[in-house]
Amino acid sequence: MNTEPIKDIVIVGGGTAGWMTAAALATVLNGRYNIRLVESDEIGIVGVGEATIPMIQRFNRVVGIDENEFMRETQGSFKLGIEFVNWGRLGERYMHGFGRLGQDLATLPFDQYWQKMRAAGKAAPLEQYSITRMAARAGKFMPPRFDVQNSPLRDINYAYHFDASLYAKYLRKLSEARGVVRIEGKITRATQRADNGFIDAVELENGTRVEGELFIDCSGFRGLLIEQTLQTGFEDWTHWLPADRALAVPCESAPAITPYTRATAHKSGWQWRIPLQHRTGNGHVYCSRFISDDEAASTLLANLDGKALADPRLIKFQTGMHKQAWNRNVVALGLASGFLEPLESTSIHLIQSGIQRLLDFFPDRGWSGVDRDEYNRQSRFDYERIRDFIILHYHLNQRSDSEYWKECANMAIPETLRHKMDMYRSRGRVVRVDNELFSEVGWIQVFEGQNMPIEGYHPLADTQSEEDIAEYLDSVRGVIAKCVEVMPSHDAYIAKMCAAK
Ligand code: FAD
């Protein structure tokens, strides 16, 4: 173990990853380290990544972000889930919403009673038993009300949509106010110590040398330190997640800002729709083996809700992860650590969990191989479990209208996912391992939304009579419908909070 104390932390890159890291470290480390961030205006940021999952609320709390100010400054909106269109069969749609399903009845989770009643032909569609899904459909929003007992209003869970450039700007302002020093310039190379290969400085085009002991690589797909300098190696997952390009284009906002993301499957990929206050973000993620860029652009432009505000911008990527997120004295975060498709809006969360892990294993004085290995093990676990969840959406399609979807349905899948699918098929059970990100409810919604056949439900569901369960399901559905009725519209809620100081 090297025991030299760390004083200088250098963050390379100022996109969402760089500025989230800067804001979190400046807040938590409380001025005890020098934090500098190098970024290049000329290179710019990837500029996509505008939908999140509910854990982002925790990040905002830790760095002390005021929600009203945040929504104003980032032109944000609220997100109650993701609507998937055409993923099972053409013409079908389902909502993967946040928060729980139903209420407690007896020993089993809600979904098992629902499965029993569905088998008897006596259950309504699953989403009618969830307040967030019903509110999303109705264009309503409010935060949870923890002051009311036994009400679905307590179960509202939400995330945000925001403008990625405005978010980076906002976090920059906050970080600089807390002592982070920003250095503008293009890095031309990193230099390494002769004895251990650790990075000791990055050098800029203008000759400036920025030295440090801990380097956080947030340089995006380039992976300036983790790959270009340390040659860590990349594990390619294209055989499971074959999309390799995206075209992104903003368009005019629709009259009502929907409180959810939409992911519409096309012939050789899918299109996102992320509603913001000042515009709607759109993008077509596709596989270049199956469709040309021109055709992909035409599909994207033909499926906008409003007038396009720019030409589509092409982004190329490769799905997979770097073999180590922490190598020597470099920790890679954001796109520099790996890339999974944005289908479930998980990249920003992976930045957040990487920052949390860095703080958990903060090196301070010394570089422990044990800490680094544990960091890398946890990071791999996160990536692989999310990867499986995303593959499920592709693999579980029943579309026969294109070679792309047929290939996805027939591809070999990871063993970990195979096991999850086998367990669900058998009795509708979701096996959740350790702290994996997506909960049982998340998996159930995709399994059910995409028509996963099951052979039976949990035998203990038969300990309750059909009459009792029917009464229970009806009352859950009825109370949720009443709650949604009294919620304000999403537009009205945003307008009110943006007006508040
Ligand atoms: P970047 O934004 O690329 O930032 C890299 C930084 O490094 C920049 O500041 C750049 O100037 C700097 N830099 C690079 N090279 C140099 C150099 N030589 N010298 C100086 N500075 C340098 N995530 C989600 O959570 N939700 C989504 O909905 C979502 N959608 C996505 C859609 C697509 C098509 C893609 C590709 C990604 C999406 N993501 C999404 C991922 C998300 O965009 C990223 O996780 C997030 O933006 C973080 O990017 P970053 O900061 O790692 O990289």
Q: With bands split at pLDDT 50, 70 and 90, how would you rate the model's confidence at 475?
A: very high
Query: At 60, which CATH number?
Result: 3.50.50.60
Decide: 276 and 223 in contact? Cβ < 8 Å.
no
- What's the Rg (C-alpha) of the chain? 23
First-to-last alpha carbon distance for the chain, in angstroms, is 50
Does 152 sit in the ligand 1 pocket, CB within 6 Å? no
With a 6 Å cutoff on the Cβ, whether 276 touches ligand 1 is: no
Q: What gap in Å lies between CA 425 and CA 455, rounded to an integer?
A: 6
Gap from CA of 451 to ligand 1 centroid (Å)? 34
What does 349-412 look like in DSSP terms, one character per residue? HHHHHHHHHHHHT--SBS--HHHHHHHHHHHHHHHHHHHHHHHHHHHT----S-HHHHHHHHS-
Q: What is the mean pLDDT of residues 38-52?
A: 95
Number of domains, the chain: 1
Q: Is the CB of 223 under 6 A from ligand 1?
A: no
Atom of ligand 1 nearest to the CA of 187: 19
Domain hosting residue 374, numbered range: 8-77+162-236+320-385
Task: Report CA torsion sign: 322, 328, 331, 336.
Answer: negative
The Cβ-side half-sphere exposure at 222, using a 13 Å CA radius, reads: 17
Ligand 1 pocket check for 275: Cβ under 6 Å: no
Say what the pLDDT of residue 2 is: 54
Q: At what angle do helices 347-360 and 16-28 cross, to 10 degrees?
A: 30
Q: Residue 210 has which token pair?
A: 């920025």
Q: Is the CB of 347 under 6 A from ligand 1?
A: yes
Pocket test for ligand 1, best of 182, 206, 245, 347 (most atoms within 8 A of CB): 347
Tokens encoding 369: 């191989």
**233-248 confidence digits (pLDDT tens):** 999 999 999 999 999 9
- Out of 11, 21, 43, mutate this one to test ligand 1's pocket (max ligand atoms within 8 Å of CB): namely 43
Residue of the nearest CA to atom 29 in ligand 1? 49
Provide the residue count of the chain.
501
The alpha carbon of 244 and the centre of ligand 1 are apart by a number of angstroms equal to 16
Q: What is the pLDDT of residues 478-487, one digit of tens each?
A: 999 999 999 9
- The answer as to whether 228 is a domain residue is yes
Q: Which atom of ligand 1 is nearest to the CA of 14?
A: 9
Q: For residues 89 and 7, what is the distance between their CA atoms, to the nearest angstrom? A: 56
Q: In terms of DSSP bridges, do strands 34-39 and 181-184 run parallel, antiparallel, or are they unpaired?
A: parallel
Bridge partner residues of 234 (DSSP)? 322
Looking from the CA of residue 17, the nearest atom of ligand 1 is 51
pLDDT digit string, tens, across residues 395-432? 999 999 999 999 999 999 999 999 999 999 999 999 99
**269 belongs to a structural domain:** no
Q: What is the pLDDT of residue 364?
A: 78
Most ligand 1 atoms within 8 A of CB, residue of 45, 55, 188 to mutate:
45
Interval between CA 37 and ligand 1 midpoint (Å)? 15
How many Cβ atoms from other residues are within 10 Å of residue 111's Cβ?
25
So what's the pLDDT on residue 3? 61
* Å from CA of 184 to ligand 1 middle: 17
C-alpha closest to that of 91 among 274, 264, 262:
264
Q: Is the pLDDT at 1 greater than 70, yes or no?
A: no
Closest ligand 1 atom number to CA of residue 164: 47
Q: Is 259 in the pocket of ligand 1 (CB under 6 A)?
A: no
Question: Cα–Cα distance between 29 and 52 in angstroms, integer?
Answer: 25
On the question of pLDDT at 106 being above 90, the answer is no
Tell me if the pTM is above 0.90: yes
pLDDT of 433 reads: 87
- CA dist 13 and 11 (Å) reads 6
Give the Å distance between the CA of 340 and the centre of ligand 1: 13
Residue 58 lies in a domain: yes
More confidently predicted of 322 and 104: 322
Distance CA 443, CA 431 (A): 10
**Does residue 202 sit within a domain?**
yes
- Looking from the CA of 171 toward its CB, the CA atoms found within 13 Å total 25
- In single-letter form, the type of residue at position 216 comes to I
Is ligand 1 within 6 A of the CB of residue 246?
yes
Q: What is the pLDDT of residues 205-216, one digit of tens each?
A: 999 999 999 999
Q: Examine residue 94 and state whether it is found in any structural domain, yes or no.
A: no
Q: Which residues pair with 5 in a beta bridge?
A: 365
Q: 274 lies in a domain? A: no
Q: Which helix (H) or strand (E) holds 94?
A: strand 93-97
pLDDT confidence of residue 482: 96
- pLDDT tens-digit profile of 320-363? 999 999 999 999 999 999 999 999 999 999 999 999 999 999 99
Ligand 1 proximity of 229 Cβ (cutoff 6 Å): no
Element (H, E) at 348: helix 347-360
What is the C-alpha separation between 447 and 394, in angstroms, rounded?
11
pLDDT band of 104, cuts 50, 70, 90: confident
Distance from C-alpha of 336 to C-alpha of 349, rounded to nearest angstrom: 14
Q: What is the pLDDT of residues 260-301, one digit of tens each?
A: 999 999 999 999 999 999 999 999 999 999 999 999 999 999
| Region 113-132 average pLDDT | 96
CA of 148 from ligand 1 middle (Å) equals 41
Q: How far is the CA of 228 from the centre of ligand 1 (A)?
A: 17
Residue 140 lies in a domain: no
CA distance linking residue 265 with residue 388, whole number of Å: 18
Among 21, 39, 203, name the best residue to mutate to test ligand 1's pocket (greatest count of ligand atoms within 8 A of Cβ). Answer: 39
> Could you tell me if residue 169 is inside a domain?
yes
Q: How many percent of the chain have pLDDT more than 70?
A: 99
From 7, 79, 116, 420, active-site residue = 79
* Dihedral (CA of 448, 259, 159, 172) sign: positive
A 10 A CB-CB count for 347 gives 24
User: Which pLDDT score is estimated for 150?
Assistant: 87
323 catalytic? Reply is no
